[in-house]
Amino acid sequence: MKKFLKFLAILLGVIILAVAGLATYVKTALPNVGPPPDLKVELTPERIKRGEYLAHHVTLCMDCHSRRDFSLFSGPLVPGTLGEGGEAFTPAQGFPGNFYARNISPSHLKDWTDGEIFRAITSGVNKDNKPIFSIMPWQNYGGMDPEDIKDIIAYIRSIPSQPNDPPKSEPAFPMNFILNTIPKKGEGGKRPDPSDVIAYGKYYTMASGCNVCHTRHEKGQMVGEPFAGGFEFGFPDGSAVISPNITPDTETGIGSWNEETFLTKFKQYADSNYHPTPLKPGQMQTVMPWTMYAYKDSAELKAIYAYLKTLKPVKNQVVKWKPKTS
């Protein structure tokens, strides 16, 4: 019996040492995506203009990294807050910890090299080689054309500095360990020619993060059928909006939509007569930044529609709005 207990004690000690060793490795050796590339982005008017378009209407950097006015429908950007960061993603919204969008204006990025910014956008690690939580879809951006990423860098280098200093993100256990294992070096790729409509549509679908918001998540990770909706976004008053199914299922998705319906859904928010509607307590709200996506190039929107129509139809009826609890 004594020998058996001694064996158990030794085994337990080995297990504890192995777990401690693994935890130490994860926290000190990971993430490992390699050094930032040695590059210098030229701030040409062409790059800045293209980067502005991407950051506002495709990758939506300015959505999470600016302040939004959720007293109005769809939470349009608050003027004068570009790049200041601070948007919170908390346990109340289903996230495994408290995460805050960083300040990406020149006041914060002045000590970052262009290569460090490039690596953060495409591989999910910051200047100090710390992991970036994947509410920022760096996995998607990692597949983008490097020239598009450089354009975004040129633009964010050109915006006014903001003094805001958001709180540091605090992942909860065990995400504080898991997070280190997630970053992966982006492979990049060439932006497809517009004549290849499906490939072109897929490129802009992924660059716009459609799969991220339109897939169900648990603890910050996608677990549902891609594009079938179900991602629940909570608001401070206890209400929530749930992303809809955008697969081509005819009953619960967009299978019955034609191209014109899809295009009009976006472009109505770019009409000069449209003004964001003030909301009363209890009225349905959305996190979908319609007023930003509305100015996406029509050819890109048509290509996105064409790509979505190639997806596997998934029958998933989504209740899009949960009123606040009493």
Same domain (yes/no): 242, 139: no
136 found inside a domain: yes
36 found inside a domain: no
**In whole angstroms, what is the distance from residue 321 CA to residue 240 CA?**
6
Same domain (yes/no): 164, 232: no
* DSSP tag of 138: H
Same domain (yes/no): 97, 161: yes
Tell if the pTM clears 0.85, that is, is over it: yes
Residue that is last in its domain, among 156, 191, 226: 191
**In whole angstroms, what is the distance from residue 301 CA to residue 308 CA?**
11
Tens of pLDDT along the chain (326 residues) come to: 666 556 565 656 556 655 555 556 555 666 889 999 999 999 999 999 999 999 999 999 999 999 999 999 999 999 999 999 999 999 888 889 999 999 999 999 999 999 999 999 999 999 999 999 988 999 999 999 999 999 999 999 999 999 999 999 999 999 999 999 999 999 999 999 999 999 999 999 999 999 999 999 887 778 889 999 999 998 888 899 999 999 999 999 999 999 999 999 999 999 999 999 999 888 999 999 999 999 999 999 999 999 999 999 999 999 999 998 76
Residue that is last in its domain, among 168, 191, 214: 191
Residue that is last in its domain, among 175, 191, 207: 191
162 Cβ contact partners less than 8 Å away, ≥ 6 residues apart? 81, 82, 83, 84, 85, 103, 105, 107, 108
Same domain (yes/no): 138, 217: no
21 found inside a domain: no
Same domain (yes/no): 106, 198: no
Same domain (yes/no): 165, 279: no
176 Cβ contact partners less than 8 Å away, ≥ 6 residues apart? 97
Number of domains in the chain: 2
Could you tell me the two tokens for 103?
Answer: 């300040």
| Burial (CB count <10 Å: 0-12, 13-18, 19+), residue 63 | buried
Could you tell me the two tokens for 199?
Answer: 């490939």
Residues 87, 90, 92, 93, Cα dihedral to 10° = 70
Q: Domain limits at 320?
A: 192-326
